[in-house]
Amino acid sequence: MAIIVQKFGGTSVGSVDRIQNVANRVTQEVENGNQVVVVVSAMGKTTDELVRLATELNEKPSKREMDMLLTTGEQITISLLTMALQQKGYDAVSYTGWQAGIETESVHGNARITDIKTANIHSQLEKGNIVVVAGFQGLSPEGNITTLGRGGSDTTAVALAAALGAQKCDIYTDVTGVYTTDPRYVKAARKLKSISYDEMLELANLGAGVLHPRAVEFAKNYHLPLEVRSSLELENGTIVEEEASMEQNLVVRGIAFEDNISRITVAGVKNSLTTLSTIFTTLANYHINVDIIIQSITSAGQNALSFSVKTEDVKQTLEVLERYADRIGYEDVEHENDLAKVSIVGSGMFSNPGVAAEMFEVLANQSIEVKMVSTSEIKVSTVVAYGDMIKAIEALHEAFELSVEETVEV
Amino acid sequence: MAIIVQKFGGTSVGSVDRIQNVANRVTQEVENGNQVVVVVSAMGKTTDELVRLATELNEKPSKREMDMLLTTGEQITISLLTMALQQKGYDAVSYTGWQAGIETESVHGNARITDIKTANIHSQLEKGNIVVVAGFQGLSPEGNITTLGRGGSDTTAVALAAALGAQKCDIYTDVTGVYTTDPRYVKAARKLKSISYDEMLELANLGAGVLHPRAVEFAKNYHLPLEVRSSLELENGTIVEEEASMEQNLVVRGIAFEDNISRITVAGVKNSLTTLSTIFTTLANYHINVDIIIQSITSAGQNALSFSVKTEDVKQTLEVLERYADRIGYEDVEHENDLAKVSIVGSGMFSNPGVAAEMFEVLANQSIEVKMVSTSEIKVSTVVAYGDMIKAIEALHEAFELSVEETVEV
């Protein structure tokens, strides 16, 4: 019998009705003849409510106690889902992270999984039980409850699937799969039948938000196929796997985008070897996330330096730059808000050097000014005015023929 | 340094304000120079809400999953209280039942504590931490989360205090101590300075409701002094200890009472050796709790049998008796509702054989008919008409001089 791991997020288990719906999806997989392990998140708004209580009692709650508090959310869901499965006449048992053998680093709030002892789960599966595991949580070597940070339940599901030797891991969410771009913005957006780990990683990192990058990394390392699919609709989702071979000829697979981007330009920077590291180390110390960085050296030996940050971080960025002005050494700082990042992603790009040029041409034809550019082996990111964002996505979606149905089936 | 264990119930931690108040009571004990372990219950209405969710998903949720669900309640409280203590600048750490080393039988819903491994708590106390432990919960040998049943947090606190060699265990509640009788009904009721374990046990079993009998038993076995006191008022509470020596001359220490009592009379019972056990085993199988039992054998070799039950159980009791009529063998069943049980408790009673007689005389003087009687070494219980209950309590309270302030201080 094959082992299938299913993961359901907070929205999918947000109410009694939703939990019953999840129970149906789970037992369906049992009826298909599989051994099923289910990983769940906390119910919808539970976490928000707990965080509210915590901040009323402590301005800056300790991370250990936040982990202790928030992990109750998944513990509630596992017991309720198990009850729903038992009500349907199926044998099921719930496990917290530590009961499931999920071991992590001694870090609170953002621990990495170090090992999974699967003996308990295997023995329950052998007894014919559905095993319902709390996502997002684990146990440190000192016996403390830890959490895996953002996207933690995805990571739990994928890590468990790898450790258990599962056939696949299904990530149930509130969308029906991975799209060529966000269908809420672009009508022509089309659901992909499959996508490679690397492409998914770029899309995930670029804010597509369907699947957490850590989970994708994990799946890639263990060659574990994922399926992103809807918890409410029955249709097939998108398979994330080693190589989406049947679509090799499609150079661009998807378009990701993100608004509320700002550009900071530091002019007249002294061209010393350490200046760059000084600036970005200082910003990192203040937890300011810098994305695209562009440096141009003038003949006079001075740098003009531009970088993009989230608009919400602009105020603090400017303050930090001013506070450390002497140490950094520059003449002037400017910033520009109301920008957006638009990126094309596709593993075929690696062997097609003309893709970036094609992208710029498409944008130029729409009179869209490209303010910043950054490239990797399988993506090209541009920063444009927010007002041009949708126009850019639509034009790129059409130019790279993303709405055309994939023709080759395996 | 002495170790003090403090226990706060659900009402005492029912809101952010209440938790802050508890934090003040805890740090006060630290400022007194003690090492402090705090045991807490789930916040006020948390449990009710979780039970509601469970019963919506499963008509009869499994006990294992109910334990998994309900133990999140205390886990929330320990983390929030620890955050409140840290906000006040104190070092504190929270422990679930399993982290605190509380081991129980493999029973769900009503497990007994089998052992407590105190190494973790001792090491945290040595580091200068306040240790906040989740009450009501433990871990079975198979690694399942268990609960201790009703009054479980009291039991956790007392068991921990015994295992840690604590100097005392303070049970904080919503009343200021143990009273001679319920002050809501009898104005003359007076708070006792101290009371013996046995007296407290009788009062607890008789429905005084301040402290769970299991916790008192535990404290008695380990000679551990308890103090029942208010979480809101600062006054001293009532000490529960080996022997309330300075009040030895007080024969009666308190009056307990319970309403909604019914009497069932089974007439013409065949006088066979097995009849009694047949009746009460059958009722026990249906979870009907029988309290006082009175049997009178007539010269004709037939029994009239009376017993008291809670009024809410009368309907089922009559149904069971009718269903098993042939097997039991009797002529008639009658029942009487609207009764109450009034009991006097005092360890001095043992050496004062006239106390029961005095009680009956007091009741007779008030024209109160005594319908049933039951005695133990340190209590006399009577069943009277509900309409006579308050009159009986007041008369007994006065006759046994319970409102007179204790004069001897140690």
Instruction: Count Cβ–Cβ pairs < 8 Å, chain A vs chain B.
Output: 104
In a domain, B190, yes or no: no
| CA torsion through residues B147, B148, B152, B158, sign | negative
The answer to whether B146 faces chain A, any CB pair under 8 Å, is no
- CATH number of the domain that A280 lies in? 3.30.2130.10
Q: What are phi and psi of B145, to 5 degrees?
A: -80, 130
Say if the Cβ atoms of A57 and B19 lie within 8 Å.
yes
d(CA B101, CA B103): 6
Last residue of a domain, one of A117, A143, A174: A174
Using an 8 Å CB-CB cutoff, list chain A residues near B58.
Answer: 83-84, 86-87
- CATH number of the domain that B116 lies in? 3.40.1160.10
In a domain, B225, yes or no: no
d(CA A87, CA B58): 5
In a domain, B332, yes or no: yes
| B44, B160: one domain | yes
Last residue of a domain, one of A174, A206, A236: A174
Ordered alpha helix ranges (H), B88-190: 119-126, 152-164
In a domain, B228, yes or no: no
pLDDT at B281: 87
| A163, A286: one domain | no
Q: Are B159 and B216 in contact (CB under 8 A)?
A: no
d(CA A356, CA A178): 23
Last residue of a domain, one of B158, B174, B190: B174
Model confidence pLDDT, tens digit, residues A280-308 = 888 888 888 888 888 776 656 667 788 99
In a domain, A240, yes or no: no
Strand order in the sheet with B145-147: B113-116, B102-104, B137-139, B145-147
The answer to whether A79 faces chain B, any CB pair under 8 Å, is yes
Chunked into runs of 10 residues, chain B (410 residues) has average pLDDT values of: 94 95 97 97 91 95 97 98 98 98 95 95 97 97 93 94 96 90 88 90 75 89 94 92 64 90 89 78 87 75 83 94 89 94 85 83 93 87 95 94 66
Q: Is B354 exposed, middle or buried (0-12, 13-18, 19+ CB in 10 A)?
A: exposed
What ipTM was predicted for this assembly? Answer: 0.81
Say if the Cβ atoms of B83 and A71 lie within 8 Å.
no
Using an 8 Å CB-CB cutoff, list chain A residues near B57.
Answer: 16, 19-20, 80, 83-84, 87
Show the low-confidence residues of chain A (pLDDT under 50). Answer: 408-410
| A8, A117: one domain | yes
pLDDT at A294: 83
d(CA B139, CA B120): 15
pLDDT at B16: 96
Its pTM stands at 0.82
DSSP class of B246: G
Q: Domain containing B101: what range?
A: 3-174
| A30, A162: one domain | yes
| A39, A170: one domain | yes
Helix (H/G/I), strand (E/B), else coil: A131 = strand
Using an 8 Å CB-CB cutoff, list chain A residues near B99.
Answer: 143-144
| A167, A284: one domain | no
| Numbered residues of the known binding site of B for ATP | 7-10, 173-174, 179, 184
d(CA A255, CA A180): 6
pLDDT at A175: 86
Helix (H/G/I), strand (E/B), else coil: A97 = coil
In a domain, A95, yes or no: yes
Min distance B88 CA to chain A CA atoms (Å): 9
How many CB atoms neighbour CB A377 within 10 A? 10
| B274, B149: one domain | no
d(CA B7, CA B157): 6
Chain B, window 38-57: residues with a beta carbon less than 8 angstroms from a chain A beta carbon: 50, 53-54, 56-57
Q: Where are the beta strands (DSSP E) in B203-355?
A: 226-230, 238-241, 254-270, 290-297, 302-310, 332-345
pLDDT at A211: 85
Amino acid found at A70: L
In a domain, A215, yes or no: no
pLDDT at B44: 85
Q: Which residue, among B38, B51, B57, would best test binding to A if mutated, counting the most A CBs under 10 Å from its CB? A: B57
pLDDT at B203: 84
Domain count, chain A: 2
Say if the Cβ atoms of A72 and B68 lie within 8 Å.
no
pLDDT at A247: 52
In a domain, B154, yes or no: yes
